[in-house]
Every structure is written in C-alpha cells, then in structure tokens.
Amino acid sequence: MFKRTQLHKLLAGTVLLATLPLAAYAQGKEPIKIGLVTSKSGGFATMGADVANGIKFAVDEANAKGGVDGRQIIVAEGDDESTPDAGRRVAEKLARDGHNLIIGPITSGISLAISQNLVGWDAAFIGTMSKADKLTADACNPRFIRTNHSDAMDLAMINEWLKGIPGNNFAIMAADYVWGQDSAKSFEAAVTAQGKKVALKLFVPLGTKDYAPYIQQLKGANVDGVWVADVSGAIAFTKQAADFGLIPKTPLIGHALLSNFVINATGNALTNTPGNVGYTPDIDSPQSKAFASAFKAKFNRLPSDTEGQAYNGAMVLFQGVSLAKSVKPEDVTKALRGAQVDTLYGKMTVRAADNQLLIPNYVARVKTADGVLRPVIERAYPVSNVPPASPLCKM
C-alpha cells in the first residue's frame, strides 16, 4: 500500500538526484511532478519493475541535460498492487499531492479506473502499456494520451499477419479480464474472417498458478496453434506447457507474450515463437538507436520491450510540457492532441480524434541475437495500417 512516508523518501531521493544546483532549482520554473503508478506487487510486479526502470531512466537522462523546458523533473511512486481498486486509490493520492502527471499502469482495468477520474483529480495520464480499445473509444478522455499500440491496432496487423500463419484450427488461452477478453475476440475475428476456426477458448483467472487443467484441454483439442494472451501468468504457463509436452509440438502465437522478462525466465521454451511486440532495439530510428546505446552504456544490456515502451511514454510526456510551456495537466494534454512528437519509432502524430499515438506495429520471433535470446523483429507494419479512431470516442 502507498504510504506518505514512502512518498517523502522517494521525493527526497529524486531531488537529490537532480543535476541542477538547489539554488537554481528554487529560482527556476515550476518542476514537472510525475506520479509513477505501477505494479510493485501482485501478478504484474516483474513487468512493473521494467516500467519503472524505463521511466526513471528517461527522467534521469532528462534531468542530467538540465530538465525539460528549464524544469526539473520530480517523481513520486505508488504501488497499484496489480488491481484496479488499489491503482485508483494510489493515483488519486499522488494527484492530490501534486504529482498529477500520471504514468505507468500496466493493465487496462487499472488504466480505466484512473482515466475516468482525471478531471476530478485535475490530472493527466500518459498510458504506455494498456491496450484495451475502450480507453480510446467510449471511455476516451481528453486528459488521457496512449503512446502504445491499442488492441484495434494489433488486430489490424494480425489480420494481415495471420495470412501467413500455417494451420486452420486454433485455440485461445487468454487472461480473464478486459484486455485478455479483447485479445481473444480480436484473434477469433481475424481467424474466422479468413475461413479458419477457433476450436477452443479458455479464459484464465488472474493469479492462476496451476495451468495443468488448461494445458490438458489444449493438448486434447489437437489444434494447429494456440493464441496466448496472459501476461501475468505467462511464465508459469510457458514452463508448464513445456513440462507437459504442449510445446514445442503445438506452436504458440503470442499477444504480448514475447516480453523479455518472460523469455528470460523460461529458458529456451519460447525459442522460435512468433508474436507481436511493442518495442525492440531492432527498430531503425535515430531515437531508438540513441536510447538503446545510452541504456546499454548504463546497464550493460539492451532495454526490454517494456522498458522501451515506458521510456517512449515519458518522451511524449516531456514534449507535452515543452509544447504547452506549462505543467498544468490540461495544458499538457491539449498541447499533445494532434501534435507531431519525437518517439522511439521516429516522428509520429498523436491523433486528435482520440489521443492515440499513431506508430508502426511489429511481429517478432524469439531468436538468439546480440548474444541473448530475445524477440527479433521479422516484419513491420506501417502507420497506414492503423484503423481509424472509434466513433464512440467523443472528445
């Protein structure tokens, strides 16, 4: 749970990291006060550590260069405990304490719980991980900017990608919450549109540890491939799928499965598995190359997909402050709406209709590259492949 003492310690620690002299800081512009809400505990804690690392790297890098728009950046953190209720409470606490530029939640359920309260808290929210279409459809909010791919963007790519996927009969195993349900629906729609079928759909409760019953059903279905959309249980599922002989006999196809933290924790089990990715160092842009180089210089490794997406969101947030010449949440999101911004994917546009950052999409395969097993991009899909904004979004 988030505590005032924790906030005070984090604020103190972050201020000590500031590179500008305290006297200059005191006489300068109002600082940028970020509320970093992410999963420090619960099912998404491993992924949450990567989110925090990517955002903190962006903050430290910007502060080392004198801040953003002459402003120092101060970060306070809160643990959303991987649940919407805790996420809403901790985000409100941070916002009401002045850290009202919010960034960091992973799940769509948490992001939805935060997004609907932004006006009441006088906050803005940069979403870097959550994919649910609802966030930029009927639940869209002028104070919410999404900098990662939505489910609709993934579906548009999947429709093209699946034309080259072998097999005609598939199974789905997805997490039983809004993102997993959306992913399953998207995959089934893409498959059936091509005359293929889904023989089995399984929805797994969050917190599941024993995947044996699901794996037995998947083996018994005798399908050509399994669409997997279960981030919090991905490590346990992959290990058990290998132990029970589901893989590699039955190929997996991953929606957000090819995260570095999953690959690193499961040995060689995901070797040759294809899936979508939000970011890898293979992205050929000056911004991505500079980020990957600086990150490797500091940590002696390449950034993960999650770290890259989190860093990208921080990049966009900082540019919102620069464009607005303000740290007021409403000013920042107004300045970003319709703006062209520098991202890890190159110069991209925040779509004015729904505040969705329009970026290319990617399919990767798990291979050995740069001396490690990681997702390697096989195909890029251009921004022209992104579907139009939902007519349900009224901003």
Q: What is the pLDDT along the chain (395 residues), one digit of tens a residue?
A: 434 334 443 443 343 344 344 434 434 799 999 999 999 999 899 999 999 999 999 999 999 999 999 999 999 999 999 999 999 999 999 999 999 999 999 999 999 999 999 999 999 999 999 999 999 999 999 999 999 999 889 888 888 887 878 899 999 999 998 888 988 988 898 889 889 999 999 999 988 999 999 999 999 999 999 999 998 899 999 999 999 999 999 999 988 899 999 999 999 999 999 999 999 999 999 999 999 999 999 999 999 999 999 999 999 999 999 999 999 999 999 999 999 999 999 999 999 999 999 999 999 999 999 899 999 999 999 999 999 999 999 98
Whether residue 186 is contained in a domain is answered as yes
Whether residue 89 is contained in a domain is answered as yes
Peptide linkage before 387 cis (omega within 30 of 0): no
* Type of residue numbered 275: G
Q: Which domain holds residue 189?
A: 152-277+362-385
Whether residue 94 is contained in a domain is answered as yes
* Type of residue numbered 97: D
3-state SS of the chain is CCCHHHHHHHHHHHHHHCCCCHHHHHHCCCCEEEEEEECCCCCCHHHHHHHHHHHHHHHHHHHHCCCECCECEEEEEEECCCCHHHHHHHHHHHHHCCCCEEECCCCHHHHHHHHCCHHHHCCEEEECCCCCHHHHCCCCCCCEEECCCCHHHHHHHHHHHHHHCCCCEEEEEEECCHHHHHHHHHHHHHHHHCCCEEEEEEEECCCCCCCHHHHHHHHHHCCCEEEEECCCCHHHHHHHHHHCCCCCCCCEEECCCCCHHHHHHCCCCCCCCEEEECCCCCCCCHHHHHHHHHHHHHHCCCCCHHHHHHHHHHHHHHHHHHHHCCCCHHHHHHHHCCCEEEECCEEEEECCCCCEEECCEEEEEEEEECCEEEEEEEEEECHHHCCCCCCCCCC
Same-domain pairing of 33 and 145 = yes
CATH number of the CATH domain containing 257: 3.40.50.2300
Phi, psi of 175 (to 5 degrees): -65, 140
CA distance 333 to 279: 24
Instruction: State the pairing for strand pair 144-146/124-127.
Output: parallel
Whether residue 391 is contained in a domain is answered as no
- pTM comes to 0.87
Same-domain pairing of 41 and 161 = no
The CA-to-CA distance between both ends of the chain, in Å, stands at: 34
Whether residue 395 is contained in a domain is answered as no
Number of domains forming the structure of the chain: 2
Same-domain pairing of 16 and 116 = yes
* Type of residue numbered 41: S
Same-domain pairing of 135 and 223 = no
Distances (CA, A) of 144 to 89, 111, 250, 307, 366: 18, 10, 40, 20, 33
Whether residue 13 is contained in a domain is answered as yes
Side-chain half-sphere exposure of 225, counting CA atoms within 13 A: 20
User: Which tokens in the block code for residue 217?
Assistant: 């059903």
Same-domain pairing of 238 and 353 = no
Whether residue 394 is contained in a domain is answered as no
CA distance 256 to 258: 6
Same-domain pairing of 320 and 349 = yes
User: Which tokens in the block code for residue 4?
Assistant: 């005032």
Same-domain pairing of 141 and 290 = yes
Same-domain pairing of 343 and 216 = no
Same-domain pairing of 34 and 86 = yes
Same-domain pairing of 328 and 374 = no
Same-domain pairing of 223 and 96 = no
Same-domain pairing of 254 and 372 = yes
Whether residue 11 is contained in a domain is answered as yes
